[in-house]
Structure 1
Amino acid sequence: MFKKLKEKKGFTLVELIVVLVILAILAALLIPALTGYIDKAKNKSVIAETRQTVMAAQTLYDEEYAKVKTGGTVSFGSEDGDKKIALATVAKLAEVDTANVISIAVDKDKNKISELVYDNGQKKCTYKPADSATNTDGDYNVETSTRK
């Protein structure tokens, strides 16, 4: 009277499509979150490199300033010289690429680095302690690099 029903093995096409749609939705939610984390990591990396460069520049400035007579000044430039520190020397001490250190300015009254621009080709970071309220990360402001 009754015929035996065949046993089903495997998934139907509808079940497979439903699983694929769920995976696509999850991927659509995760990708923007992951790119945000990647961008934050790149920002932190360029800030760390800039901080290293600021510390190297301040160290070299302090050493050179100690050698100068009272009332003398020290500056940063393209070449080492009398009372002048080369950007390449700062980059070497900071262990960063020489081309990445764009400029360094000094507050002569406080004998401190007042501005340093670091650009690694992807991100540009400017150290400026006076602008802490407007910077993205304390004394450091990160933006997309325009350098090629």
Structure 2
Amino acid sequence: MFDKIRNLKNKKGFTLVELIVVLVILAILAALLIPALTGYIDKANKEKVIVEARMVVMAAQTEASSLYGKAGAGNNLSAATTESLNAAAAEAIKLAEMSSAEVGATATLTTDGKVKTAIYTNELYSVVYEDGSYDVYDVDALKDPADAGKKTDLNKFILTVEGFESGKAAIK
């Protein structure tokens, strides 16, 4: 009988109090780390949308250069037709790899074949490109009519030559 009592005392294990202390420590660590991790996730999503906007600007610039080259010597994009801008917008969708109907883009071209402004919008963020810089906005915060120039319609790519024609293509 004494052997059984000694065997019970020699068993190794954790008490209930020790387990509760460990769980409390883990809960405190989780409470500290979760807000920090969500900040990193938001920052990564903003960086991702900026990269997507850069792809849109590069695609628009490529198509603007192509249109400018087709215009011929001494001409500019003021003579671009709606059909040619529609075709350029469709090609820009392919170049920018815009395959989701939940994104949209607008690019304004100068008559000498450069991208003046571009707006890229997805379901969470809107990015405005102007003068070589990218500004990111939360789509939910852009409810004021004064913010209309900071987002664009989804499911479209619109190319406009400032002051002249515009063309658009649907994103499939």
SS of 1:33's equivalent? Answer: helix
Cα distance in 2 between the residues matched to 1:75 and 1:38: 45
Tell me whether 1:73 sits opposite 2:77 in the alignment.
Answer: yes
Kindly tell me: are residues 128 and 140 of structure 1, through their superposed partners in 2, closer, same or farther at Cα, counting changes over 3 Å? same
- Structure 1, unmatched stretches of 5+, are 131-138
User: Which residue of structure 2 aligns with residue 28 of structure 1?
Assistant: 31
Letter in 2 for 1:13: L
CA apart distance, 1:101: 3.0
User: Which residue of structure 1 aligns with residue 113 of structure 2?
Assistant: 111
Letter in 1 for 2:97: E
Q: Number of aligned residue pairs: give it.
A: 134
CA apart distance, 1:71: 4.2
5 Å-filtered alignment, 1:78-89, equals 81-82=83-84, 84-85=85-86, 86-89=88-91
More helix by share: 2
Kindly tell me: are residues 22 and 71 of structure 1, through their superposed partners in 2, closer, same or farther at Cα, counting changes over 3 Å? same
Question: Runs of 4+ in structure 1 displaced over 6 angstroms?
Answer: none
Cα distance in 2 between the residues matched to 1:59 and 1:92: 12
Cα distance in 1 between the residues matched to 2:125 and 2:66: 30
The normalised TM-score by structure 2 is 0.65
Cα distance in 2 between the residues matched to 1:75 and 1:16: 77
Tell me whether 1:140 sits opposite 2:134 in the alignment.
Answer: yes
CA apart distance, 1:107: 3.2
CA apart distance, 1:33: 1.3
The normalised TM-score by structure 1 is 0.74
The superposition leaves residues 86-140 of structure 1 with CA deviations (integer Å, 9 ceiling, x where unpaired) of 53321112111374233111233x632111111121221111126xxxxxxxx11
Cα distance in 2 between the residues matched to 1:55 and 1:71: 22
